[in-house]
Amino acid sequence: MIGTSPQAHKCRCTPNENWWKNGIIYQVYPRSFKDSNNDGNGDLAGVIDKLPYLKSTGVDCVWLSPIMKSPQVDAGYDISDYYAIDKMYGNMNDFKELIGKAHELGLKIMLDFVPNHTSDQHRWFKESEKGNAKFKDFYVWRNAKKKGSPPNNWLSVFGGSAWQWSKKRKQFYLHQFAKEQPDLNFRNPAVRDEMKKVLVYYLDLGVDAFRIDAVKFLFEDEQFRDEPRSSDPNATPASHAYLDHIYTNNLPETFALLSEWRQLVDEYSETQGGPSRILVSEVYDDLYNTLQYYGTPERIGVHFTFNFFFITNLKQDISRAHDIARIVYTWQNALPAGKVTNWVIGNHDNHRVPTRLGAKNIDGFNMLLLLLPGVAVTYNGEEFGQDDGDVPFEQGKDPAAKDRATFNLLSRDFERTPMQWDDSTNAGFNEGAKPWLPVSQNYKELNLASQLNEKKLSHYQIYRRLARLRRDEPVRNGTTDVWAVSDDVIILKRSAGGRHIILAFKLGWNGNDEKEEVYIPSMCEKEAIVLLKSVGSSYKIGSIINPQNFLLNPHESIVLEIMTT
Ligand code: NOJ
């Protein structure tokens, strides 16, 4: 039995074990979402204010990027107190209010849980650095090699050695991200206990889901062996890609720890009798290693692990329609039996979808995302086509991009600029105080308010209609087929009980700028109804076309319905 506090949260929504299985998870980047007190930073009151908007958009779960107390060296992924909300965002009462209001609306809340590392300002680290017996082994400390060099060749994800010398303790500590983010030592049972306590604390508050950050880094080789050179010929010696991370990533102990957390959460859900709480892992890796996180018949894993392959394996004007088809079917075929699939198309670590895959393709990609089976993950702003903002080097905040020379290549600030709500001051993000990152210059034309009119088809209205269509049987539970009918046209078909919902999308990549004749494979029906179309398409919603032969322009996408019974 897991202990819960006496004020354990009772969810007032209808228990629905399966709430997440076809859900839309919407990622809110709190610092850039809505600044209610006009201090330049978004906050929880701002999120609360926008909950009805999220409900009416049709999302199911709101994922909040880190909101706990933090010096913000890595945008909150450097936590200095797991039990406090960062002042910039509000306080614990605001968070409780947010959960309560979300639940009243039938929305779930997913919290970013960052267990691999803390901030170097966390009390545990300060005590550990001083050598306080209780905390001495909370982090990964090693002696210097002869001549004072680091214990081994391990590299930080942000570049350079993963070891930092502490003058105080006269030892090196491990940091697989910034030096201000020391890695916790999960071989210490006391650390494992502390992290379980954190999980239970937030379960008690009513948090429905946890996105577990940087999971694959949780354990390292006990012998601290050097890692071998990777097979990437272009990697420079200081870059993380230079080594093959066989001693720092995906260790068996990591999977065992995740099983423990999963058991804890499952047991919690059972004793509470409410809807199930879920764990989602964040792992960028190859297909095999990524899928390991779903678990095996012998070992329970997380509910699902993010599928980042639309992000990592698609490149505008290099990829072809075949690459999209391959991503879908290799993932679907490799997914362990009985597991819930998922698709992530954008997040705070990657250029926004319009910037990455083409501004004119936003509807096509939202259609693909929302018509695929399982869970869909949308990054805030991408429901209406917000693209990357401009951030000059001088205003950059990302610890992954400290050098002017590599800023444009590495910075994640561009995808983190404030949400473009409307065409007023600072895009409606706040009342005029200087935002922590500059508002994108294009906000007068590209903002949500200009797309709210339900009678006018816009990126946002398309997104809303898709969110509704997802609840229909073929998209919820139907079979999935995907084809590239040419280099540039992708078809997705979802079918159930003789009803087929079909996406046809011409990417317009690789200089494919001519109209193209398209057909839907493996269907002989001569009539299809146009249910939805991309902005600018000349098809008429509700009209009938011949699915054996129709034309698509570059960047055009349509959703068809065909009945075969
Ligand atoms: C993954 C997060 O998404 C990223 O933003 C962060 O820098 C690292 N984990 C370190 O926590």
CATH number at residue 136: 3.90.400.10
Whether 136 and 99 map to the same domain: the answer is no
Instruction: Examine residue 271 and state whether it is found in any structural domain, yes or no.
Output: no
Tell whether the torsion through CA atoms of 115, 120, 125 and 128 is positive or negative. Answer: positive
- Give nearest CA residue, ligand 1 atom 3: 349
Q: Which atom of ligand 1 is nearest to the CA of 74?
A: 7
Tell the burial category of 261 from Cβ atoms under 10 Å away from its Cβ (0-12, 13-18, 19+).
Answer: buried
Q: Looking at the structure, do residues 195 and 299 belong to the same domain, yes or no?
A: yes
Shared domain for 450 and 553, answered yes or no, is no
| Segments of 265-315 assigned E as strands | 278-281, 304-305
Rounded to the nearest whole angstrom, what is the distance from the C-alpha of residue 28 to the centroid of ligand 1?
A: 15
Is 246 inside any structural domain? no
Ligand 1 binding pocket includes 158 (Cβ within 6 Å): no
Structural domain of 94: 24-117+189-218+277-461
Which one of 74, 181, 218 would you pick to mutate in the ligand 1 pocket, going by the greatest count of ligand atoms within 8 A of its CB?
74
Whether ligand 1 lies within 6 angstroms of the CB of 215 is answered as no
Domain match, 445 and 350 both: yes
Q: Is 77 close to ligand 1, i.e. is its CB under 6 Å away? A: yes
Kindly report the CA angle at 274 between 271 and 280, in degrees rounded to 5?
90
- Given 430, 461, 492, which residue is the final one in a domain? 461
The 10 Å CB-count burial string (b at 16+, else e) for 501-518 is: bbbbbbbbbeebeeebeb
User: Are 372 and 327 part of one and the same domain?
Assistant: yes
Contact 552, 506 (CB under 8 A): yes
Do 295 and 414 belong to one domain?
yes
Q: Are residues 421 and 498 in the same domain?
A: no
pTM value > 0.85: yes
Residue 67, in any domain of the structure: yes
Q: Is the CB of 81 under 6 A from ligand 1?
A: no
Same structural domain, 136 and 214: no
What contacts 120, CB < 8 A, 6 or more positions away? 78, 179, 180, 181, 182
Q: Is residue 265 part of a domain?
A: no
Residue 423 domain-assigned? yes
Pairing verdict, β 342-344 and 375-379: parallel
Q: Is there a single domain that holds both residue 416 and residue 495?
A: no
CATH number of the structural domain spanning residue 45: 3.20.20.80
Phi, psi for residue 24 in degrees, rounded to 5: -100, 120
Q: Which atom of ligand 1 is nearest to the CA of 282?
A: 1
503 to 6, 223, 278, 392: CA distances (angstroms): 50, 52, 30, 39
Query: CA dihedral in degrees (8, 12, 16, 19; nearest 10)?
Result: -90
| Residue 127 sits in the same domain as residue 101 | no
- Please tell me the residue having the least CA distance from ligand 1 atom 11: 77
Based on the domain organization, do 427 and 351 belong to the same domain? Answer: yes
DSSP 110: E
Assess if residue 428 is contained within a domain. Answer: yes
**Are both 334 and 422 inside the same structural domain?**
yes
Q: What is the CATH number of the domain that holds 503?
A: 2.60.40.1180
282 classed as catalytic:
yes
Q: Which atom of ligand 1 is nearest to the CA of 116?
A: 11
What contacts 428, CB < 8 A, 6 or more positions away?
A: 420, 421, 422, 447, 449
Specify the amino acid at residue 191. Answer: V
Domain end marker among 461, 495, 519: 461
Rounded CA-CA distance 377/312 in Å is 15
C-beta of 410 in contact with ligand 1 (< 6 A): no
Would you say residue 55 lies in a domain? yes
Catalytic, 213? Answer yes
Q: What letters, b where the CB count within 10 A reaches 16 and e where it falls short, cover 264-286?
A: bbbebbeebebbbbbbbbbbbbe
* Tens-digit pLDDT string for the chain (565 aa): 333 333 334 444 445 778 999 999 999 999 999 999 999 999 999 999 999 999 999 999 999 999 999 999 999 999 999 999 999 999 999 999 999 999 999 999 999 999 999 999 999 999 999 999 999 999 999 999 989 999 999 999 999 999 999 999 999 999 999 999 999 999 999 999 999 999 999 999 999 999 999 999 999 999 999 999 999 999 999 999 999 999 999 999 999 999 999 999 999 999 988 779 999 999 999 999 999 999 999 999 999 999 999 999 999 999 999 999 999 999 999 999 999 999 999 999 999 999 999 999 999 999 999 999 999 999 999 999 999 999 999 999 999 999 999 999 999 999 999 999 999 999 999 999 999 999 999 999 999 999 999 999 999 999 999 999 999 999 999 999 999 999 999 999 999 999 999 999 999 999 999 999 999 999 998 899 999 999 999 999 999 999 999 999 999 999 999 999 7
Q: Calculate how far, in angstroms, residue 546's C-alpha sits from the geometric centre of ligand 1.
A: 47
74 touches ligand 1 (CB under 6 Å) = yes
* 373 occurs within a structural domain: yes
When divided into structural domains, the chain yields a total of 3
